[in-house]
């Protein structure tokens, strides 16, 4: 009996996606609930599982095709495992390419592994030809990460070729001909969406950025003093983002327009704070949301951020993780950025940009001293937020970071 595989619901307001990768080819045996394809949406990659065990008969869409929710993308012949084995054997006899055989062996490893692999991890497994069932995962709940696969491939220790004698120097053909090459790679759906949203934000909003600098001495001292006790009690590292998230909550409560957005001819205000945290993922920047950050303590916020970071690397973030958000924090400092003008995340009206910490000479009580300083930036939609409000919000964040006690007594 043939079973049609359709595009599953992809999340609120998401009606279509594109075929990012076929994980199973026609003739391949498929287990029930085993992913057969990876769909790329505007925000995340989503696996499409088979509801039945059998053999993949045909693809109804090609890689790169846009498909709507409910559309048929493949057909499974239910209960035809034996036939599939014969077809695979016939295919293997016709294949002489060693790389294709390596991929098929990896496909078998994937089918036998008793775990769910993200698209990024699956691609790494196929590329390096390792058995995922033999690798111990370091991700959340023991899930495999891409780094786990790369480490296993390195530990596998394929013998390196013996060094060959140094060749006799000769003119390089490329230099003689002046040949230069170009490579064209189609943008992923996520990258296309990021490009459209960021360009749309610049065209629609009246963007302006205000800057300040922050003395990080107090936060660094607090982290140094309490990090061991914090980790022991909460089983999570005390980072800088928790401090900035709580400081932002103070600012957004005092300056509500920074936590609002424009919809038509109305301003929508929120009595809660949902902070979007910009996280780097294999396919681009994603912004999962810390819900009710104003009601959460440092430990819960740090755990949410750590979980988002791990799942972003694994490619297992969901649409629900990134839906909503009233304000964004983007930390370019982890990449070494000294200063930047971040772009707002529509429909939000403001974004806080963090940067690297560096020792700089500053004047304190009439004396020049060296302090660990960070530039912070608040980009905002000037249609909604006045300069006075933006500067006030950023100043509240600065003061809370320089005196963390303010966060405990709601000042």
- The residue among 348, 206, 209 whose CA lies nearest residue 274 is 348
**How many C-beta neighbours within 10 Å does residue 204 have?**
14
Cβ proximity of 293 and 249 under 8 Å:
yes
Sign of the four-CA dihedral 64, 66, 69, 70: negative
Check if 382 is active-site.
yes
Distances (CA, A) of 297 to 9, 90, 245, 303, 364: 34, 60, 10, 10, 32
H/E element, 360: strand 350-364
Q: Which residue has the tokens 């090609």?
A: 62
Report the alpha-carbon distance of residue 411 to residue 407 in Å, rounded.
6
Cis peptide before 155 (omega within 30 of 0): no
H/E element, 375: strand 367-381
Catalytic residue among 65, 228, 292, 382: 382
How would you label 285-298 residue by residue, b for 16+ Cβ within 10 Å and e otherwise?
Answer: ebbbbbeebbebeb
Q: Would you give the end-to-end CA distance of the chain in angstroms? A: 67
Catalytic residue among 33, 65, 228, 386: 386
**How many C-beta neighbours within 10 Å does residue 103 have?**
15
Please, is 186 exposed, middle or buried when counting C-beta atoms within 10 Å of its C-beta (0-12, 13-18, 19+)? exposed
Structure tokens at 107: 């496909």
SS (H, E, C) 80-146: CHHHHHHHHHHHHHHCCCHHHHHHHHHHHHHHHCCCCCCHHHHHHHHHHCCCHHHCCCCCHHHCCCH
Phi first, then psi, for residue 258 (nearest 5°) are -70, -20
Check if 403 is active-site.
no
Catalytic residue positions?
A: 382, 386
């Amino acid at each position: 009996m043939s079973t049609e595989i359709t595009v599953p619901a992809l999340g609120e307001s998401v009606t279509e996606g594109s075929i990012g990768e076929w994980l199973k080819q026609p003739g391949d045996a498929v287990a029930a609930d085993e992913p057969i394809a990876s769909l790329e949406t505007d925000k995340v990659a989503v696996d499409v599982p088979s509801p039945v065990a059998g053999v993949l008969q045909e693809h109804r869409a090609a890689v790169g095709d846009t498909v709507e929710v409910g559309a048929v993308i493949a057909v499974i012949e239910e209960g035809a495992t034996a036939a599939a084995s014969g077809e695979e054997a016939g295919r293997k006899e016709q294949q002489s390419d060693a790389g294709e055989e390596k991929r098929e062996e990896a496909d078998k490893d994937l089918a036998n592994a008793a775990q769910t692999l993200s698209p990024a991890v699956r691609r790494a497994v196929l590329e390096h030809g390792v058995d995922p069932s033999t690798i111990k995962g370091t991700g959340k709940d023991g899930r495999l990460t891409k780094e786990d696969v790369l480490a296993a491939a390195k530990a596998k220790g394929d013998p390196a070729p013996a060094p060959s004698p140094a060749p006799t120097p000769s003119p390089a053909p490329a230099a003689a001909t002046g040949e230069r090459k170009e490579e064209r790679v189609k943008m992923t759906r996520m990258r296309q969406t990021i490009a459209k949203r960021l360009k749309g934000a610049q065209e629609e909003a009246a963007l302006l950025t205000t800057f300040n600098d922050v003395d990080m001495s107090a936060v660094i001292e607090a982290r140094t003093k309490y990090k061991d006790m914090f980790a022991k009690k909460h089983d999570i590292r005390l980072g800088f983002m928790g401090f900035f998230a709580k400081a932002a909550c103070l600012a957004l409560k005092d300056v509500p327009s920074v936590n609002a957005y424009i919809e038509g001819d109305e301003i929508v205000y929120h009595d809660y704070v949902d902070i979007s945290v910009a996280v780097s993922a294999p396919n681009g920047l994603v912004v999962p949301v810390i819900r009710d950050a104003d009601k959460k303590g440092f430990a819960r916020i740090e755990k949410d951020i750590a979980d988002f970071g791990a799942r972003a690397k694994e490619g297992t973030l969901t649409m629900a993780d990134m839906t909503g958000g009233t304000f964004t924090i983007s930390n370019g400092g982890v990449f070494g950025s000294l200063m930047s003008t971040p772009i707002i995340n529509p429909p939000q009206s403001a974004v806080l940009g963090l940067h690297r910490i560096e020792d700089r000479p500053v004047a304190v009580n009439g004396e020049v001293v060296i302090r660990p300083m960070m530039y912070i930036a608040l980009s905002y939609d000037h249609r909604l937020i006045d300069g006075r409000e933006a500067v006030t919000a950023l100043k509240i964040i600065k003061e809370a970071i320089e005196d963390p006690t303010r966060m405990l007594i709601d000042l």
